[in-house]
Structure 1
């Protein structure tokens, strides 16, 4: 009987915090509501009024059912991980409602796909007639990406005043593990402060640049806002179907490149630089790892594209080759090529280079996806350490360190964790590749798309379309979700769900 009561108490704690996260995110729907009013988009306005009513009602119900237990029971690791992972699932369903009501998606599954793509900052799109999308829904698409980059749990923690015990467990459950300050609530607020400051600066820069290249002031402003949200969150969504190619501007491409490279860096690194520690940019293992791999991949891609005669001059190689490599490596997914050009013009080797870049990804505790530069750096450090041990006497004990905000001793636990997550990503990638080939897509195209969803990138080679098989859409949704939350919290949710079902089934059999 005590066990049943304890399980029910766990359920109530999870309910309360999931409801809180839903409320914090659902309130953001007021922004597209105001946008729809400004542009007199009455149908879109009604869609969001219906959607926010559903979301807030569910949030209130969940908080109300869990309120009685939050002060008497301590939030445990299992609670925090389940809260984070289940919040993402429920919010994906709720935030897909305005998509489905708009009529711009073929099915609710397509709407779910686009919302998960936004929340995970992937950037793959199934929404149709993107060039004529309402301003309100376009605003919502990019808000989803911007919030997803920082994290919905991080958003909720920023506003939390009471009940902050166990907040770190929820924070870690969303794929982040760096505390900028001792208090997690203040860490969440610093993350948002950094993002908002960059949002203002970046939007103004893109707005001015947009006017300079010929957009009207209003269009330039909203395009600048949307593009910044995607660039900073390494999301890849854009207001037009041609993505960055729509602007046909070197200055716009350079500006977005700077923004998404900065956006792919660790929030702890941003905070260190803000605190005056500018040397951290050069000393940090993540930035070292990123710039080495980015330089190597860009060099070989550019060399092959030049030798193959795909592009005739250095500027074209930089704009089409290096830009897309960095977009892939930062897991942004901005593209200035049509999807099929990767397959028909680039050839196999540059596509393989992009696949590697997409899988490596950006920095840990950033808006980027992929293995992360930190883990790649740890793997190389561990290999060097093992070689050093073999070359030296067994009696000689040497401590290996790496620099990540501070000097950290390289231990077996860190290395094991890095290898484990990388293996999970590789397994997810191979399953996606196999599924693509099963449904008749070429192996390289299947691998490219699988790397894009696994690394939360958003570049497409033409596989992701509204007409692709439903099973492949579902797998891509799961892959984006697992990749963004880095597996552990999702595995805990699955274990708790099936464990609960098993216990219930056994009780029913006994009675």
Structure 2
């Protein structure tokens, strides 16, 4: 029996959502300072207004809902899913004030895309936006990759069991340390160290390509944040094509491959367990699926004679494929050129790669390599059982940080999530086809949104139907939070209305 919802439940949810909102408001100070550095006074004012509004909402929520109660699992799931919606709305204010979004819905689309590290965008005249807004776009993907709630846990929320439940609700279930704040700090420590290294490396490459030193620093930071968070944004509409640099593409590719790996794997390697790279089921699964899908891409491109030599084929083909597989979405090919030159087979291979996606508890999206490995091993174990004597005890195992026994519940759990991903991919594609988009294009764009990838074949633009924008936003949100938090939020809302009706009837 589902329990009733009481006022204390709303206080708990409101209080912690308020703290997360305060975190978003404080984060806006970074692009505001960036605007001041570049003397972009109008942009600085946009962010000053946005900071004031966001902090007002956050502090109001926290004050009127103040409580010492610890969140339960249901509260945690609702807080995680609800916080993303509140952050999406408030983070869209600078977009609207800048005049580069045609509507508030378009602004929310871009902020949802940023926080979920998707990378699709509807922003107008991207090549001429302020440095402050550019910083905000990339900061959204960087923070979204680590998790908005992880940010709040690091600085604002105490080290409680309830805090860890909120973290789980956001999809960061790996318990690297006993203390939840230590986990959050550790995730940020890893990310900030990489940020420093990545900004320097990519900034130097940008300088070598003729970009002024002070701008090269920002370009390095933008591209790193986009790569590490597997977010896909870039400061110009040409994306990686703007740089015409194989060195920039290679460096970015290294960082987004690293970003697609499980935070727990980074921790294991950092603490000396380097053999984990070779044994981990996610890495094995990732390697196999990359080789398989890239083979299909090579076959498609060679059949069509797209590129003049093997070097160019590898540069364009592998970058685009691995960007899709890690759910990054950076591209060194124009969207319509991609559709025209790669053809159905090349697009199908990339779609499969995007659907599978990155590692669990990473910055990436998709089914996740861990689930694919578990399902394949589960099938192999069932086949072994059928071929073994009836009295034989056959058990499966997989290695993820340590040796794990493959139980029916583990396989079932992985399969259910994969089915849910397939469902949202299909729903998004059907809506796209209903508006007249070709089936291949509709499936590609839907999978890109649902897997939080961001590669586009030209469907995503400000002129696309409003319903399709909303469907893609829901796909991004549900795909990023992996469904359970979102379903819990919907269930909580339904239960709240039912509880209100019961109380009115009792009166």
So what's the TM-score if we normalise by structure 1? 0.97
CA RMSD of aligned residues (A): 1.2
1:7 matched to 2:6? The reply is yes
Instruction: Tell me by how many angstroms 1:184 deviates.
Output: 1.7
Query: Aligned to 1:10, what secondary structure does the other structure show?
Result: helix
Q: Which residue of 1 aligns with 2:492?
A: 496
1:201 matched to 2:200? The reply is no
d(CA) in 1 for partners of 2:237 and 2:502?
Answer: 52
Instruction: Tell me by how many angstroms 1:183 deviates.
Output: 1.5
Q: Which residue of 2 aligns with 1:229?
A: 225
Q: Which residue of 1 aligns with 2:475?
A: 479
Query: Aligned to 2:399, what secondary structure does the other structure show?
Result: strand
Residues 125-140 of structure 1: pairs in structure 2 closer than 5 A? 125-140=121-136
d(CA) in 2 for partners of 1:113 and 1:161?
Answer: 28
Indicate conservation of the 8 Å contact 1:51/1:97, yes or no. yes
Residues 286-435 of structure 1: pairs in structure 2 closer than 5 A? 286-435=282-431
d(CA) in 2 for partners of 1:74 and 1:119?
Answer: 26
Q: Which residue of 2 aligns with 1:21?
A: 20
Indicate conservation of the 8 Å contact 2:17/2:58, yes or no. yes
Instruction: Tell me by how many angstroms 1:161 deviates.
Output: 6.0
Distance change >3 Å, CA 312–CA 480, structure 1 → 2? same
5+ residue gaps, structure 1: none
Q: Which residue of 2 aligns with 1:123?
A: 119
The structure 1 residue matched to 2:444, chosen from 448, 454, 461, is 448
1:257 matched to 2:253? The reply is yes
1:284 matched to 2:283? The reply is no
d(CA) in 2 for partners of 1:219 and 1:161?
Answer: 36
Indicate conservation of the 8 Å contact 1:306/1:312, yes or no. no
Indicate conservation of the 8 Å contact 1:343/1:351, yes or no. yes
Indicate conservation of the 8 Å contact 1:20/1:63, yes or no. yes
d(CA) in 1 for partners of 2:347 and 2:288?
Answer: 19
User: Deviation per CA, 1:118-176, whole angstroms, max 9, x where unpaired?
Assistant: 00000001001100010000000011110000001111111146362311110110012
Instruction: Tell me by how many angstroms 1:509 deviates.
Output: 5.4
d(CA) in 2 for partners of 1:137 and 1:160?
Answer: 25
d(CA) in 2 for partners of 1:505 and 1:216?
Answer: 64
Distance change >3 Å, CA 163–CA 275, structure 1 → 2? closer
Indicate conservation of the 8 Å contact 2:117/2:141, yes or no. yes
Instruction: Tell me by how many angstroms 1:506 deviates.
Output: 4.4
The structure 1 residue matched to 2:169, chosen from 161, 173, 177, is 173
Instruction: Tell me by how many angstroms 1:503 deviates.
Output: 2.6
d(CA) in 1 for partners of 2:11 and 2:49?
Answer: 27
Query: Aligned to 1:178, what secondary structure does the other structure show?
Result: coil
1:61 matched to 2:57? The reply is no
d(CA) in 2 for partners of 1:165 and 1:175?
Answer: 16
User: Deviation per CA, 1:320-378, whole angstroms, max 9, x where unpaired?
Assistant: 11110000000000001111112211110010001100000000000000000000000
d(CA) in 2 for partners of 1:163 and 1:281?
Answer: 30
Query: Aligned to 1:347, what secondary structure does the other structure show?
Result: helix
Instruction: Tell me by how many angstroms 1:505 deviates.
Output: 3.5
Instruction: Tell me by how many angstroms 1:501 deviates.
Output: 1.7
Instruction: Tell me by how many angstroms 1:219 deviates.
Output: 1.9
So what's the TM-score if we normalise by structure 2? 0.98
Query: Aligned to 1:340, what secondary structure does the other structure show?
Result: helix
Indicate conservation of the 8 Å contact 1:160/1:185, yes or no. no
Indicate conservation of the 8 Å contact 2:157/2:163, yes or no. no
Query: Aligned to 1:166, what secondary structure does the other structure show?
Result: helix
Query: Aligned to 2:202, what secondary structure does the other structure show?
Result: helix
User: Deviation per CA, 1:66-107, whole angstroms, max 9, x where unpaired?
Assistant: 22x32xx33210011011000000010000000011000100
Residues 148-159 of structure 1: pairs in structure 2 closer than 5 A? 148-159=144-155
Query: Aligned to 2:382, what secondary structure does the other structure show?
Result: helix
* Count of paired positions: 505
